[in-house]
Chains A and B, each alone.
Chain A
């Protein structure tokens, strides 16, 4: 990034009180006379201009035949902290090498500034603490920390679940019943509000599965079995898992962000001090709402997916809706439906708990809120899929 000299000066000096012939880029000249090395500074030594001379200025050395060092500032037309720092840095460097340095002709105002800079620099005895550089051996403690964090997460999830069951009161015993209004409110937000997107997504998903299935089954002349395929796949797996993923993204992130920002603004602490159990007040209604909403949404998703499949079966394979429904009745029984829906409450609890645990971990900064929301969504989707796999193994083992 190079800029012309005039551009640099124009930008920085356009509204300074200097006249045009006083506006010169910083420069310096050196001469040694009778054992005294003199540096004469000239021009504008200001924040916007000193960058041009930094390298040359750093290279100044005390000649061998000199034992005194003088910095003459008489020709400086403008000095600010950056210029003062350049002079102070040179002075400290030469002095560090064992030679006295005198600064001459600074003028009254610039002397105040220069002294303030020298004072600030020499007064601070601390040193810059650099963060530790990356090391490969650093991976091992990283893994260890991760394992401990996993255990801690699990414990706080269990703690949260227990505290949520305990209810909203912490101290006195009265008023332990849950109020229904927040639960209804949350069901409205997380359940009813999610219906349009769930329906849309499921219709498309059902249609895609039906189309792909029909395309493959056509080779065997068994296109009618696409109904079995869609029916079983949607009811047992796809309906519930897609709904859970969508809710993890939609409501899990919202829960983390809500609780996280309440944590940031000390609302959670306020609840504690007042004597309420923040987990019971904030998290329990959301958990209950999720546990009620998710199975219902799963049912909606199942119906929508079957609807989508029905449309595709009609248009792509010529299976009439009547034939489709008759085949569904044969292919699918109540166990297929329950094998899917029974997973929904578990997934709701997982989403709610993970979202709340992450929300409670939010610290003071906006950055940590963003990080927590991300990890809440990622973790809950991952755990939802793992749990779905465990259910599949279990159902296979018990022949459900």
Chain B
């Protein structure tokens, strides 16, 4: 699914500091088109800062950010607009507009960017709701009437409103119960497969990391210290990565055993060769 020759998002030498406090220093990262990249890091290491810098919500002191090969600083207005239309963001707490209904929330980006009849907009909004597993009867509910899982789904539907190529998910499963979180993970994977999405997912949920991500990036010491699949992570010597992926909580997850067994068998094969 992931295409290594087609880089959806490329981040080079990004440096962000607030006052004297350096958060990110010369950070590099590539996200391939069509992959689900899980992004982890300890609290306060700057995961959110990086995401916000990529989205243009935080200023960066230097560095280059390219979407689909277009440098966002050098792009002309039309290209900037096209890039904006191809990005969707799911904020951690949903960030649904509380004075609008669910369907109206999904229509906000459409109103902004598209010229199409209102009836078609509503039809597409309902379709997006159905794609993320909401019901048509939820269309006229206000965000305050929704449960936590429904808020995440509605916010995801809004992120998908313009059929983006890349979506940024900030802790999509936080605050959901394990069943709801597993369903949401399955939804992310399903939509990636059907819509050809590229997914950049900041998460602390080990289940999500193990079940849906293609690659994992670890942020530490102000840069990305490791990028790779789960096996690669398990083979790392960095103490933080070791304790993150091999800690007590990780050990209870079946996918972990599978990956570890695979790694051990690989090692034994290597040894026997």
Residues of chain A whose beta carbon lies under 8 Å from any beta carbon of chain B: 1-3, 8, 10-15, 46-48, 50-52, 54-55, 80-82, 85, 89, 109, 112-113, 116-117, 120-121, 123-124, 126-131, 363-368
Q: Is B68 an interface residue (CB 8 A)?
A: yes
A10 and B78 form a contact (CB under 8 A): yes
B127 and A85 form a contact (CB under 8 A): yes
Q: Which of B70, B99, B110, B120 has the most CB of A within 10 A?
A: B120
Q: What are 15 contact pairs spanning A and B, CB under 8 A? A: A8-B115, A11-B78, A47-B162, A54-B120, A82-B163, A85-B123, A113-B195, A117-B127, A117-B131, A120-B131, A126-B137, A128-B126, A128-B136, A365-B98, A365-B144
Q: Is B81 an interface residue (CB 8 A)?
A: yes
7 pairs of A and B residues whose beta carbons are closest in the complex: A51-B116, A14-B82, A120-B130, A126-B137, A365-B98, A80-B163, A116-B194
Identify A12's interface contact among B70, B82, B110, B139, CB under 8 A. B82
**CA distance in complex: A368, B83 (Å):** 35
Q: Add 10 more A-B contacts to A85-B127, A126-B136 (CB < 8 A).
A: A2-B115, A15-B68, A15-B79, A54-B119, A54-B120, A81-B163, A120-B131, A121-B130, A129-B137, A129-B140
Q: Is B232 an interface residue (CB 8 A)?
A: no
Write out the residue numbers on chain B whose beta carbons fall within 8 Å of the beta carbon of A363: 144
B195 and A81 form a contact (CB under 8 A): yes
A116 and B131 form a contact (CB under 8 A): yes
Q: Is B238 an interface residue (CB 8 A)?
A: no
Identify A48's interface contact among B113, B119, B136, CB under 8 A. B113
Write out the residue numbers on chain A whose beta carbons fall within 8 Å of the beta carbon of B222: none
Identify A54's interface contact among B68, B117, B139, CB under 8 A. B117
A80 and B144 form a contact (CB under 8 A): no
Contact residues, B44-83 vs A (CB, 8 A): 67-70, 78-79, 81-83
Q: Is B41 an interface residue (CB 8 A)?
A: no
Question: Are A126 and B115 CB-contacts (below 8 A) given A10-B78, A54-B120?
Answer: no
Write out the residue numbers on chain B whose beta carbons fall within 8 Å of the beta carbon of A124: 130, 135-136
A367 and B98 form a contact (CB under 8 A): yes
Q: Is B143 an interface residue (CB 8 A)?
A: yes
**CA distance in complex: A121, B128 (Å):** 10
**CA distance in complex: A46, B165 (Å):** 12
Write out the residue numbers on chain B whose beta carbons fall within 8 Å of the beta carbon of A3: 115
Write out the residue numbers on chain A whose beta carbons fall within 8 Å of the beta carbon of B206: none
Write out the residue numbers on chain B whose beta carbons fall within 8 Å of the beta carbon of A1: 115
Q: Least Cβ distance of B221 to chain A in Å?
A: 33
Write out the residue numbers on chain A whose beta carbons fall within 8 Å of the beta carbon of B116: 50-52, 54
A11 and B194 form a contact (CB under 8 A): no
**CA distance in complex: A116, B131 (Å):** 8
**CA distance in complex: A140, B143 (Å):** 28
Identify B67's interface contact among A15, A82, A109, CB under 8 A. A15
Q: Least Cβ distance of A119 to chain B in Å?
A: 9
Identify B85's interface contact among A11, A54, A131, CB under 8 A. A11
Chain B residue at minimal CB-CB distance from A114: B194
A365 and B115 form a contact (CB under 8 A): no
A51 and B82 form a contact (CB under 8 A): no
Q: Is B2 an interface residue (CB 8 A)?
A: no
A128 and B162 form a contact (CB under 8 A): no
**CA distance in complex: A124, B136 (Å):** 7
Q: Is B142 an interface residue (CB 8 A)?
A: yes
Write out the residue numbers on chain A whose beta carbons fall within 8 Å of the beta carbon of B144: 363-365, 367-368
Q: Least Cβ distance of B266 to chain A in Å?
A: 32
Q: Which of B110, B114, B140, B196 has the most CB of A within 10 A?
A: B114
Chain A residue at minimal CB-CB distance from B117: A54
